[in-house]
């Protein structure tokens, strides 16, 4: 088993929380893990990206080479496009369909959707709306993680347990909101 993942988005969207959950789940499945983070201008709404590599065999490098990522998980559709050069030919893009317009020359969302539609494996869902509609507004990132579960090759129950471990200190309400968000994402991955 080997999965190379690029997590990307805009500062404050929860990319590093997703990385922590995936890392915890991978360790619980006795997998090797390497992670390299680029925080960028995370406190000012800038690009945030993390390379996350999980494997049943030892991993030599924590960086993902161009053309070799198995999965891009993006909290924002333009950020998904930014990292497409790293995606393998049969790789998956799991992204929020709603733009986070934080620059004056943000591309037209229809142009972004057209580019994404050229790819063989894309899941694009409005995670912010799903989160709002289901009273888990702070868990949109975990909805996206749920949508990515199959592409990641990690067991769903292992991700649930990782959420319990990662968010346990924040209380049962936070844990349950994130477990609900993971289920919402899994249901949306169809």
Mean pLDDT of the 98-107 span:
86
Spatial separation of the C-alpha atoms in residues 129 and 182, rounded to whole Å: 15
pLDDT of 104 = 84
The residue that leads in pLDDT, 38 or 181, is 181
Confidence tier at 43 by pLDDT (50, 70, 90)? low
pLDDT of 62 = 87
Query: What percentage of the chain carries pLDDT values higher than 90?
Result: 79
Residues in CB range of 166: below 8 A, 6 or more apart: 17, 20, 21, 24
The total number of structural domains in the chain stands at 1
The residue that leads in pLDDT, 48 or 131, is 131
Mean pLDDT of the 183-189 span:
93
11: CATH: 3.40.920.10
Residue 123 confidence (pLDDT) above 60: yes
Residue 40 confidence (pLDDT) above 70: no
In the chain, which ranges are E strands? 2-10, 32-38, 47-55, 69-74, 87-96, 122-125
- At 20-35, the pLDDT tens digits run 999 999 999 999 999 9
Domain containing residue 172: 2-187
Pair 76, 96: CB distance under 8 Å:
yes
Spatial separation of the C-alpha atoms in residues 121 and 145, rounded to whole Å: 16
pLDDT of 38 = 65
Residue 45 confidence (pLDDT) above 70: no
pLDDT of 44 = 57
Arithmetic mean of pLDDT over the chain: 92
81-85, 102-106, 107-111: least confident range: 102-106
pLDDT of 121 = 97
Residue 39 confidence (pLDDT) above 70: no
Mean pLDDT of the 109-114 span:
94
Spatial separation of the C-alpha atoms in residues 49 and 73, rounded to whole Å: 10
pLDDT of 161 = 98
């Amino acid at each position: 088993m080997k999965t190379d993942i690029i997590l990307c988005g805009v500062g404050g969207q929860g990319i590093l929380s997703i990385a922590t959950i995936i890392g915890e789940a991978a360790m619980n499945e006795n997998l090797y893990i390497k992670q390299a983070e680029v925080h960028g201008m995370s406190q000012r709404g800038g690009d945030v990206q993390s390379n996350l590599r999980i494997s049943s065999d030892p991993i030599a490098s924590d960086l993902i080479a161009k053309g070799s990522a198995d999965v891009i998980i993006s909290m924002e559709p333009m950020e998904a496009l930014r990292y497409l050069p790293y995606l393998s030919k049969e790789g998956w893009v799991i992204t929020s369909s709603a733009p986070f317009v934080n620059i004056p020359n943000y591309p037209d969302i229809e142009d972004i959707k057209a580019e994404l539609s050229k790819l063989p494996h894309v899941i694009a869902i409005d995670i912010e709306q799903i989160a709002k509609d289901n009273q888990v507004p702070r868990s949109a990132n975990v909805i996206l993680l749920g949508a990515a579960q199959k592409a990641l090759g990690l067991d769903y129950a292992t991700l649930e347990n990782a959420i319990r471990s990662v968010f346990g200190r924040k209380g049962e309400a936070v844990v349950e909101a994130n477990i609900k968000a993971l289920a919402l994402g899994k249901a949306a991955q169809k």
